[in-house]
Amino acid sequence: MTTAKSTVDDIGARVAEVVRSLAARAALTRAQAYRLRLAADEIATNIVLHGYGGEGEVGLCGGVAEDHVWLRTEDSAPPFDPRDHDPSPVLTADPATRAPGGLGVHLALAAVDELRYEQVAGLNHTTLVVYRDA
Amino acid sequence: MSFAAKSHVWDGTATIRLTGELAAKSAGQFNRVIADVSAQDPHRLVLLLDELTYLSSAGLRSLVYAHQRLGRGVEIVLVGAQPEVAETIRLTGFDRSVVMQEPTGA
């Protein structure tokens, strides 16, 4: 687990490093690693930007199982379950004029094979899973 | 995590070559380039994406910004997006507001 106070300018690099390590250990394909990174980047950036309002502590950890790779974010921002996000308003809007926001969580949900959420001891735990044989 | 955006405007077409990773940290840099080329009133914006290796939602929001800066009548053409980048564009419906082309080699 790596925990550090992060901003939107540095959280992406932290996520990329964790995914790079997991991808190497699990021999993920380029597409699998890309999907995991995109989802983790979107979730972590969302936590920093909207959960904390620009800066806050985000924990990152991950692991390799026989059939999947997982990466978890941990934060103390207000509770937010990404699975409750309804992307339809933003997706049905004209892309050229749509309001900013709402795309990131949609991308995260679409990119991974599973997204799990739970609250543990007052922290948000969001776990992203990519199947190794997918 | 490097990013570069090099632009030129010729005969009403603004062309921007994106290199590296377009995400939260680099979107502001790209937006400034869009603002620069929009000042020359192009009627077409071509984004060369073959060297763009990563695109997040923050980068996609720059496409909304480009539409808004340039106006609805300006065609935006994305050329040569790598498969993962193209999939990200499609997942968010942006392929409905731009023209996506394979590289022509021209």
A116-129 pLDDT, tens digit per residue, is 999 999 999 999 99
Q: Does A58 touch chain B (CB under 8 A)?
A: no
Tokens linked to A93: 């809007």
Residue B84 covered by a domain: yes
Q: Please report the pLDDT score of residue A28 as a whole number.
A: 97
Residue B106 covered by a domain: no
Q: How far is A41 from chain B (nearest CA, A)?
A: 8
Among candidate residues A131, A128, A110, the one with its CA nearest the CA of residue A47: A128
Amino acid at B24: A
Residue B54 covered by a domain: yes
Q: Please report the pLDDT score of residue B1 as a whole number.
A: 64
Count of domains forming chain B: 1
Q: Please report the pLDDT score of residue A98 as a whole number.
A: 75
Note whether B97 contacts A95, CB cutoff 8 Å: yes
Note whether A103 contacts B61, CB cutoff 8 Å: yes
H-run or E-run covering B1? none
Count of domains forming chain A: 1
Q: How far is B80 from chain A (nearest CA, A)?
A: 17
- Collapsing DSSP to helix, strand or coil, B96 comes out as helix
Q: Please report the pLDDT score of residue B105 as a whole number.
A: 56
Q: How far is B66 from chain A (nearest CA, A)?
A: 9
Residue B45 belongs to domain spanning: 3-101
Among candidate residues B68, B58, B65, B102, the one with its CA nearest the CA of residue B83: B102
Note whether B84 contacts A30, CB cutoff 8 Å: yes
Q: What are phi and psi of B24, to 5 degrees?
A: -55, -40
Query: Distance (Å, rounded) from C-alpha A119 to C-alpha A124?
Result: 5
CATH number at residue B24: 3.30.750.24
* Chain A residues touching residue B57 (CB < 8 angstroms): 42, 103-104, 107
Residue A40 belongs to domain spanning: 2-131
Q: pLDDT truncated to tens, each residue of chain B (106 aa)? A: 699 999 999 999 999 999 999 999 999 999 999 999 999 999 999 999 999 999 999 999 998 899 999 988 899 999 999 999 999 999 998 898 899 998 765 4
CATH number at residue A106: 3.30.565.10
Which ranges of chain A have pLDDT less than 50? none
Packed helices B57-70 and B27-38: angle between N→C axes, nearest 10 degrees:
10
Q: Please report the pLDDT score of residue A49 as a whole number.
A: 94
Out of A13, A31, A41, closest to residue B56 by CB: A41
